[in-house]
Amino acid sequence: MNKFERAQELIKKLNVDGWLTISDEGSDVHSHFLLGVNAPSLNYIYIAANGDHRVLAVQMEAPMIERSLKNKGIKAKVDSFSSLKDLESKLTTFINKPRIALNFGENQFNEKSTYFADHLTVGNYFSIKHLAPNTEFISSAPIIYGLRSVKNQEELKDLRNVCKATLEILETLPDIVKKGMSENEVKAEIEYKYMKLGKPSFPAIVGTGAHSADPHHNTSNKKIDEGVLLIDTGLQIDQMCSDITWTVWVGKKPSDEFINAYSALYESKEIANEYFIDDSPANLPSLKCRAYLEEKGYDHEKLFFHGLGHSLGFEAHDIGPRVSWKVSKESKLRENMVYTNEPGLYWKGKWGVRLEDDIIIGKDKCEKVTYNHEDPIII
Amino acid sequence: MNKFERAQELIKKLNVDGWLTISDEGSDVHSHFLLGVNAPSLNYIYIAANGDHRVLAVQMEAPMIERSLKNKGIKAKVDSFSSLKDLESKLTTFINKPRIALNFGENQFNEKSTYFADHLTVGNYFSIKHLAPNTEFISSAPIIYGLRSVKNQEELKDLRNVCKATLEILETLPDIVKKGMSENEVKAEIEYKYMKLGKPSFPAIVGTGAHSADPHHNTSNKKIDEGVLLIDTGLQIDQMCSDITWTVWVGKKPSDEFINAYSALYESKEIANEYFIDDSPANLPSLKCRAYLEEKGYDHEKLFFHGLGHSLGFEAHDIGPRVSWKVSKESKLRENMVYTNEPGLYWKGKWGVRLEDDIIIGKDKCEKVTYNHEDPIII
C-alpha cells in the first residue's frame, strides 16, 4: 500500500471525509512525507475517504509534485493556482464537507497531549474555517500516529541501510578529527560524506570540552582541544533518518572521570535496551537506566536532565510515546517502533558524555541497528 | 540597540503588554532570531513592554540560551521547566496580562495577508488561550514587520560579507563541476565550502538538463549532462543569508536558444534593478522586467511563472512586500530592504534558465551585492 492508501484506511476509521495538510515554507513536514518531494511553497494536500485525492500547489512546483506521486503509484489530481483568488475558489470546490481532519494538536500541557500533530498555523486554520464555515474540523492526530509511529518492513529496511552507512562514516572519525580543527570543520567533514548519499538528518552537534555539557550545543568555530569531544549526528536517505552520538577522547590518556562516566553510560544503555520491547511501559527503559546510574554513584536527576530517547523515522524526532522516567506507565511501546537510546551525564560548564544508539522494538528483544564502542575511541 | 530593545519599542507602539513567541522543534524562526542560538526544543520568549523579559526553556537548553543572551547584552530572566505542570505554572506567572501579541497571521487569501507572521501552531494557541482566558491576544505582525523588513547598518554589513564569501565560492564552479558527477555531488562540494564559514541558507538546487525547468527541483543523483546546469544556492553566516542563482552551460558550445534566453534575462534583471528604489511600487520592477522579456519575444506569462524576487535577511525568504507583477501598486518598497532579483524562463520537461542576484534598495538606486556574469560560464 502506498502512503495515500494507508492514510485513506485511517481516514475512514476516524470517520472523516478527508484529511487536509496545509504547508507553507515547509511548515508541515507531512507535505514532504506524503508527496515524496520537498515542495517548500504553499501547498494543500487533501486525502479523501472516497479516494478523490487533491493537491493544490504553486505553478512552479506542481509539475514536480505530479511526477513524484506518479512515480510512487499514487493517484491524485494535482492542480496549481495562479493567484490567491484562484486558490480560494479551487479550495472551495473540495473542502466543503461535513468533517475534515487537520494537523493540529490538543492539550499542550497535559500528558495526553497530541502535540506531535501540531503543525497547522493559526492564520491558516482560521482562513480555512472561514472558507468552509459549515465543516467540522477535528485533529488528525490518530491518522498521523497510525501512519508514522509503528514502522513497516520497507521503512525498517531503509533504517538499517541508513544506520549502516552512518556508522561507516563515523568509523572514519579518527582520520577526520585533529586537534586544532574547529568544531565546524569536523561537522563539515562528516556532512560532506553524508551529502554524497543523502543529507544530514539534523545539523550535527560537535562539542569540544565544556561545549559537550550542552546537549543541544550549536556547533561553533571553537578549536578542538584535548579532552572530551561529543558528536551527535545523523544521516537521512530517502524516508529514514539515523541519529547517533559518540563521545570520544582527544589526547593521550582519558581521565578516570571520563572513563567511569562512559562505562556507566554504556552499561546503563545496554540495560535500558532490555526494556525496549513490545508492550513495555514507556517509562521503564528510563527507570532501569537511571537506577543503574544511581547505583554507580551518579546523581542522575541533576546530571541527566533529558529524556532517554525519542522516536526515530522520517524525522530525527519522529512520532511515538515519549520515553522518559516521567511519563505514565500506561503509555506503552509497540513492536516495530524505532527509538533512540541516549543516556547522558553532564557537568555544567565542564564536560559531558552522551552515548546514543538506534533500536527497533521487538517482540521479546530489541534489534540494535547502531552501536557505540564499549571502550571510548581515543584520537 | 539589541533586538529585545528594538522589539520593546515596537511592542509599546502596538500598545500591548508583551510579545510571546512559542517555538517547538524549530516551529518558529523567531526563537532563533531573538535568542541568537538555535534551541530546537520547546521554548517561550516573552518580551515585555516594561522590560521584564522572560525565557522559559527545557533544562538542557536553558544554560546555552542564558549565555547567548548575556553575550548580546540582553537582560532577560531565563528559567527552565522540568515537567508540563511546572511549565504551566511558570507560564501563568507572566502571561496573565490584558493584551499580548502572538505570532499568527491573518487573511491568508487576501492581498493584505500577514502570512509572514504565521508561525504559532493551533494547539499551542488554544493551550495559551486556555491558560490566560482573560488576555486579549492579537497578531504580532507589526512587530515582526518592524524588526525584520528594513535592515539596519550592521545587518547590511553582514549581508555584504556573506554575499562576497558566496561569490568567491561560486567562482570556483568551473573547478568543481565535471560532466558525469551527480547533482548531489556538486551540491556537496559547494556546501562543504559553506560549512567552513557558516551553513547553507537552504538546500542548494542543482538541476541538470530538464531538471533546470523545475524552479524548486530537489537535487538528485542524476549525472550532470551536457547542456544547461542551474545552481540556486546561498550561505548563512551569523544573522544574514545570501541567495544566488547562476545558470551555466556544460559542454562545448551553448545553443543559440540558451544564449538568447540568458541574455534576455540578464538585461531584464538589470532593467528591474532600476526600480528597486525607495517608494517604488512593489509591482514595478516585475512589470518592467516582463515588458522587456515580452519585447524580446518570450511569452512571460507561460514561461516565467513565479515572482520576481523576495525579501532576504535572517531567512532566505525574509519579510517584506511581495515583489510580483500581480501585487497592488499601493504596496511600496523601502530604503534598506534587501531583495533577490531573479527572473527565469522555463520550458517544461526541457530546460530553464534563472539568474538571481541580491540587492539593497537605495534612495535613488539599488546597491548590487552579488552579480551574474554577463555571458554564461561555459564548463
Assess whether pLDDT exceeds 90 at residue A82: no
pLDDT in tens, A241-287: 999 999 999 999 999 999 999 999 999 999 999 999 999 999 999 99
Mean pLDDT, range B248-276, rounded to an integer: 97
pLDDT for A112 equals 86
pLDDT for B270 equals 98
Task: Work out the minimum CA distance from A92 to partner chain B, whole angstroms.
Answer: 12
How much is the CA Rg of chain B, to the nearest whole Å? Answer: 23
* Residue burial A249-288, b: 16+ Cβ < 10 Å; e: rest: bbeeebeeebebbbebbbbbbbbbbebbbbebbbbbbbbb
Nearest CA in chain A to B194: A188
pLDDT in tens, A157-170: 999 999 999 999 99
Helix (H) or strand (E) holding B171: none
Residues of A whose CB is below 8 A from B108: 84, 123-124, 127
pLDDT for B112 equals 86
**Mean pLDDT over each residue of chain B, to the nearest integer:** 96
State the amino acid at position A74 in one-letter form. Answer: I
Residue B376's nearest CA partner among B249, B268, B213, B269 is: B249
Domain residue ranges of chain B, discontinuous segments joined by +: 3-148, 153-368
pLDDT in tens, A42-75: 999 999 999 999 999 999 999 999 999 999 999 9
Contact A249, A210 (CB under 8 A): no
Query: For testing the chain A interface, which of B195, B312, B353 should be mutated: the one with the most A CBs within 10 Å?
Result: B195
Q: How many helices (H) and strands (E) does chain B have?
A: 12, 17
Mean pLDDT, range A123-151, rounded to an integer: 97
Assess whether pLDDT exceeds 90 at residue B238: no
Residue A84 grid coordinates: 490567491
- For residue B82, what pLDDT band results from cuts at 50, 70 and 90? confident
How much is the CA Rg of chain A, to the nearest whole Å? Answer: 23
CATH topology for B3-148 is Creatine Amidinohydrolase; Chain A, domain 1 (3.40.350)
Give the closest of A60, A110, A118 to B216, CB-based.
A60
Mean pLDDT, range B116-144, rounded to an integer: 97
Residues of B whose CB is below 8 A from A237: none
Task: Tell me how far apart the alpha carbons of residues B312 and B242 are, in angstroms, rounded to a whole number.
Answer: 7
CATH topology for A153-368 is Creatine Amidinohydrolase (3.90.230)
Global pTM reads: 0.95
Residues of B whose CB is below 8 A from A105: 121-123
ipTM: 0.95
Are residues B188 and A192, on separate chains, in Cβ contact within 8 Å? yes
Look-up: residue for cell 562576497? B164
Edge-to-edge, what's the strand order for the sheet holding A244-250?
Answer: A205-208, A227-233, A244-250
